[in-house]
């Protein structure tokens, strides 16, 4: 795509790759937990099992979403051009199932490790994803696909 000022990058221009933002949140949370533990669950709670279930649910959602993108023939990476609006699979229910899977995975780790720090880091992770990634993706998709994207956006919620 180009205009009078020159070429416009054919990707969202996200401020960070989402898996990197997720990994930073996890590593910082675990580091803070190691330095100064902040448990929030009662010791008798089956935190490991419950957290594992939540983590696996998030991973399953992420894999379902990524597989749906691959089957549609479009890119998953925010650094690559998007070739189409995908409306199948989890994209029927949310426009951002990959990021929801990451949030659910982070919640699962917070529970499994009984770490309030990991819960606290959900907020900065969400803010980076919402404003540094999703807002840019939405603007990019609106520019690239116009009415097709706007119609999809009108039918499917950003989150849930």
Domain count, the chain: 1
Residue 141 domain flag: yes
Residue 67 domain flag: yes
Phi, psi of 140 (to 5 degrees): -65, -50
Residue 137 domain flag: yes
* Cβ contact 109:55 at 8 Å: yes
Residue 128 domain flag: yes
Residue 116 domain flag: yes
pLDDT per position as a tens digit, 72-110: 998 888 888 999 999 999 999 999 999 999 999 999 999
> For residue 2, what pLDDT band results from cuts at 50, 70 and 90?
very low
CB atoms within 10 A of CB 6: 6
- Range of the structural domain that residue 155 is part of: 49-160
Nearest in space to 39 (alpha carbons), one of 113, 107, 106: 113
Stretch 4-18: mean pLDDT, rounded?
A: 76
């Amino acid at each position: 795509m180009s205009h009078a000022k020159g070429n416009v990058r054919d990707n969202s221009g996200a401020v960070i790759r989402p898996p990197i933002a997720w990994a930073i949140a996890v590593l910082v949370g675990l580091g803070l937990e190691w330095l100064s533990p902040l448990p929030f669950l009662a010791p008798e709670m089956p935190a490991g099992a419950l957290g594992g279930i939540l983590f696996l649910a998030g991973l399953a959602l992420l894999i379902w979403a990524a597989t749906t993108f691959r089957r549609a023939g479009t890119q998953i990476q925010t650094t690559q051009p998007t070739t189409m609006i995908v409306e199948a699979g989890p994209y029927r229910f949310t426009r951002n199932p990959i990021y929801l899977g990451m949030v659910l995975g982070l919640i699962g780790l917070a529970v499994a490790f009984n770490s309030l720090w990991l819960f606290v880091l959900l907020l900065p992770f969400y803010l980076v994803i919402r404003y540094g990634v999703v807002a840019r993706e939405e603007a990019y998709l609106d520019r690239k696909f116009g009415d097709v994207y706007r119609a999809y956006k009108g039918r499917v919620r950003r989150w849930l």
